[in-house]
Amino acid sequence: MNDNPVLLAAVGGLWGLLFVASLLVFALVRLKPDRDYAELIARTQSWWVMIGAFSVMLLASRNVALIFLAIVSFLALKEYFSRIPTRRADRRVLFWAYLAIPLQYYWISGNWYGMFIIFIPVYMFLFIALRMIIAQKTDGFLQAAATIHWGMMTCIFSISHAAYLLMLPDTGTWGATGGAGLLFYLVFLTQFNDVGQYVWGKMFGRHKVLPIVSPNKTWEGLVGGVATTVLFAALLAPYLTPFNFTHAIMTGALIGLFGFIGDVSISAIKRDLGIKDFSSLIPGHGGVLDRVDSLTFTVPLFFHFMHYFYY
Amino acid sequence: MPIPNHVLRFLFFLLVRVLVIFMLGLNIKRRNLLPKDGPAIVIANHNSHLDTLVLISLFPLKLLPRIRPIAAADYFLRNPVFAWFSTRVIGIIPIQRGSAQKGFDPLAPCYEALDQDMILVLFPEGSRGEPERLSRFKKGVAWLVERYPTVPVTPVLLYGLGKALPKNDFVLVPFFCDVLVGENMYFNADKHQFMALLTDRFAQLTDEGHFPDWE
């Protein structure tokens, strides 16, 4: 159990924010009952469950957090493999791809940075090709190898960087919230950025950014969202991170911008596949991969930004 | 008609439910169209041993004693251990596959079950066949429905289980399972017409699914 007062305050603040947001939704439903709020209500209810799980993960032990993130990787990869076209010949190949999840998180739990950082992009990359060759089916080989690797990179490699944040040693240059504080900072800002861009877009959105990939995304939403994220990044940084003011601003912009790019990348894939959501596991949000879409980009970028400047 | 061991069956399907949700995951469309009580007939396509387990896990556990899958006696009763597990734990009703002899109706155990208000789970393809490909439905189901024209028939299309655990394979690879429940059907005056309607209904459900290729 992590009882760091700053972290507890951060998690408490998040619950406060959720409570206020739920009250707003409740008030909206009461004041304008003529519209259909089913989706908004489902979304809000799902946030309670997700923030509940996130709080448990942050405040329980580090191993609980690693298992939690490994499950997120597994569920996201399962959604991905279930929705992309795969070849019958590659069934056992996918089995090996799944096995990479426990291995990757095992390296992390042992604080083995060298293995964590090359296992998927080097060893699994090569092993998957090797295993595919055994099946001796050349039709669609390149597409299959590429799509399988893309799934492993986003769902396992990217997400697992969040787990490695928890392993970073406490350098003592900032409050003692350590990796859990960094993880809170990163995940909160990424998800808040999603919500911020959505709200800004709903209120002021006029000019589309990427009309073909994602028609609901507007310049107004993007700029407003990034600005809000930068503001919160600067406000929270002194408590949860070792960042100076400049680095906090840079991190906010990084999360805001690349959260957007992660989001629209997954949108592009969904459009390519002709689907709206990867699954219906989280009511109002879609699947796990639909929820962590922005994180697949922000997690590794934030991690390496941290790693470059502070470790 | 063999009587299952209700306690073992309950525990087994509780475990199945957890594994289905975690290892596979379900995307269910129109779950509300599944029968809430017997007598009823549920018809599904068949690609994997997981089909029966997943279908049964769609129903609330309190309905479990009413749900009985129909399965081929030659396969499921092939040895005493397998027969015990199939009849006592899975709760299958074994029927004889293939030619009906004179004076012997292979569907008799189904009549008995429907008369006892059971929900029958049937796979009219007769065999699991090629993964994720629908083979022709056998006509036995029309004979059954003709005899019970007031019993609702619920078509259920399953997709993904033939990828997760196909015939002749033993390694389970996690894949989401799509479950598309169709509108209830009743016998419509003629066996051929009923089979045509059934085939048509499954074609509609397949179109609705937008399933990725599996070649």
Give the tens place of pLDDT for each residue, B47-57: 898 999 999 99
Contacts of B215 in chain A (CB under 8 A): 87-88
Contacts of B48 in chain A (CB under 8 A): none
Cβ contact (<8 Å) for A75 and B27? no
Cβ contact (<8 Å) for A84 and B131? no
Q: How far apart are CA A206 and CA A216, in angstroms?
A: 10
Q: Is the pLDDT of residue B213 over 90?
A: no
Report the pLDDT averaged over residues A16-41: 89
Mean pLDDT of chain A: 92
This complex has an ipTM of 0.83
Q: Is the pLDDT of residue B198 over 70?
A: yes
Cβ contact (<8 Å) for A82 and B175? yes
Q: Domain boundaries in chain B?
A: 6-209
Cβ contact (<8 Å) for A275 and B210? yes
Domain membership of residue A183 (yes or no) is no
Contacts of B158 in chain A (CB under 8 A): none
Provide the domain count of chain A: 1
Domain membership of residue A19 (yes or no) is no
Give the tens place of pLDDT for each residue, A227-283: 999 999 999 999 898 899 999 999 999 999 999 999 999 999 999 988 889 988 888
pLDDT of residue B108: 86
Give the tens place of pLDDT for each residue, A106-123: 999 999 999 999 999 999
User: How far off is chain A from B213, nearest CA to CA, in Å?
Assistant: 5
Contacts of B21 in chain A (CB under 8 A): none
Residue A174's pLDDT band (cuts 50, 70, 90): low
Residue A275: both structure tokens together: 């689907």
Report the pLDDT averaged over residues B76-97: 89
Residue B163, chain A, CB below 8 Å: the answer is: yes
Distances (CA, A) of B161 to A232, A281, B25, B91: 45, 18, 11, 20
pLDDT of residue A39: 86
Residue B27, chain A, CB below 8 Å: the answer is: yes
Contacts of A143 (CB under 8 A, 6+ apart): none
Nearest to A37 by CA among A28, A45, A46: A28
For residues B139 and A60, the model is more confident at A60
Query: CA-nearest residue of chain A to B29?
Result: A280
pLDDT of residue A1: 67
Distances (CA, A) of B126 to A245, B62, B73: 69, 28, 12
pLDDT of residue B99: 58
Q: How far apart are CA A64 and CA A84, in angstroms?
A: 30
Domain membership of residue A68 (yes or no) is no
Residue B129, chain A, CB below 8 Å: the answer is: no
For residues B134 and B142, the model is more confident at B142
Domain membership of residue A108 (yes or no) is yes
Residue A172's pLDDT band (cuts 50, 70, 90): low
Q: How far apart are CA A189 and CA A200, in angstroms?
A: 15
Report the pLDDT averaged over residues A55-81: 94
Q: Is the pLDDT of residue B100 over 70?
A: no
Domain membership of residue A180 (yes or no) is no
Contacts of B25 in chain A (CB under 8 A): 75, 78-79, 82, 279, 281
Contacts of B163 in chain A (CB under 8 A): 86, 91
Burial class (CB in 10 A: 0-12, 13-18, 19+), B28: middle
For residues B118 and B132, the model is more confident at B118
Q: Which domain holds residue A140?
A: 73-167
Q: Is the pLDDT of residue B9 over 70?
A: yes
pLDDT of residue A175: 58
pLDDT of residue A212: 87
Q: DSSP string covering B174-187, please?
A: ---EEEEEPPPB--
Q: Is the pLDDT of residue B101 over 70?
A: no
Residue A73: both structure tokens together: 């990787």
Query: CA-nearest residue of chain B to A137?
Result: B215
Architecture of the domain delimited by B6-209:
3-Layer(aba) Sandwich (3.40)
